Structure 1
Amino acid sequence: MDWKLELVIVPVSDVDRAKKFYTEQLGFAEDVDHRAGDSFRVVQLTPPGSACSITIGTGLTTATPGAYQGTHLVVNDIEAAHARLVERGVEVSEPFHFTADGKQAGLAPNRGDYATFLSFEDPDGNGWTVQEVGKAT
């Protein structure tokens, strides 16, 4: 039996502001924007090429907006991802890797898969990590 992760609820304080960030700046597709009165709204958004979506909204979770940290997106070219985010106005870190002692360092010239990252936050402070996987070294 397969168990597939298909949806992650991300807590936000302003649904319209978050929706604009995720669609216009990150390029996520809007799959659903449904309201059932003033106390319930669900907005489902999917990163390009992803089988898993996120949902933001009202009445979905008791988690504090900005509480989520380290949710990962995976790309095969960290430099291209960085350039696209900068071009779209996202405040994003420079690409980095972790040293053997767990500290962040600049890019290694011959880095391998799973070793290179960048990070950014949504308008509420939910922290995202982008990880490079599948780039030929």
Structure 2
Amino acid sequence: MALEVISVAVSDIDRSLEFYTKNVGFGLDVDYRPTPSFRVVQLTPPGSACSIHLIKSGDAGRIRNLTLVTTDLVTERDRLLKSGVNVEKIRHKTPLATWAGEWADGVDPERHDYASFANFLDPDGNEWTLQERGFQSIY
């Protein structure tokens, strides 16, 4: 089995479609409206096998911690900021070995997988977490 699609409730599909495609960089797979009351909008993050469906709902902003994994959290955060996405500051777990500690500012000093994070919200308050995995030092 594979997770293929996650439904994301939004209050305005057109506004969210623009945010996810123009600001975040998701690809538009489907925007299908066979009747005035039925619309399917499917978007996929670059490099992902899992997509999202934008669903018009009064329960918008209820999803937390949808995770997008990137190989370079600093670069991805900078790109999103330049695209108009309000991304929080990067933080990392410390001590990493037990995951029972606190947060410290910035990326993990040794760029360990799954140790560094930054969050952002979509226009409806759905929360996304950026997480670094697979950073390859060029030094």
TM-score with structure 2 setting the length = 0.88
CA distance in 2, matches of 1:102, 1:70: 19
Kindly indicate whether the alpha-carbon contact (under 8 Å) linking 1:65 and 1:125 is maintained by their aligned counterparts in 2: yes
Q: CA deviation at 1:63?
A: 7.2
**What pairs up with 1:1-137 in 2 under 5 angstroms?**
3-58=1-56, 64-99=59-94, 100-107=99-106, 108-136=108-136
2: CA distance between counterparts of 1:132 and 1:97?
10
CA shift digits 1:15-73 (9 cap, x unpaired): 00000000000111111001132322110001111111101034xxx671000000000
Q: CA deviation at 1:13?
A: 0.4
The structure with the largest strand share of the pair is 2
Write the letter of the residue equivalent to 1:14: D
- State the Cα distance separating 1:94 from its structure 2 match: 1.3
> Where does the alignment leave 5 or more consecutive residues of structure 2 unmatched?
none
Taking structure 1 as the reference length, the TM-score comes to 0.89
SS at match of 2:65: strand
Distance in 2 separating the partners of 1:24 and 1:15: 14
In structure 1, list runs of 5 or more residues that go unmatched: none
CA distance in 2, matches of 1:103, 1:17: 36
Structure 1 position 95, deviation (Å): 1.1
Maintained 8 Å contact 1:42/1:55: yes
Bigger mean CA offset, 109-118 vs 124-133: 109-118
String of CA shifts for 1:73-114, please: whole Å, max 9, x gaps: 000000110110011010001111123445332123224111
Give me the identity figure in percent.
48
Q: Which residue identity lines up with residue 12 of structure 2 in the other structure?
A: D
CA RMSD of aligned residues (A): 1.6
How many residue pairs match? The answer is 132
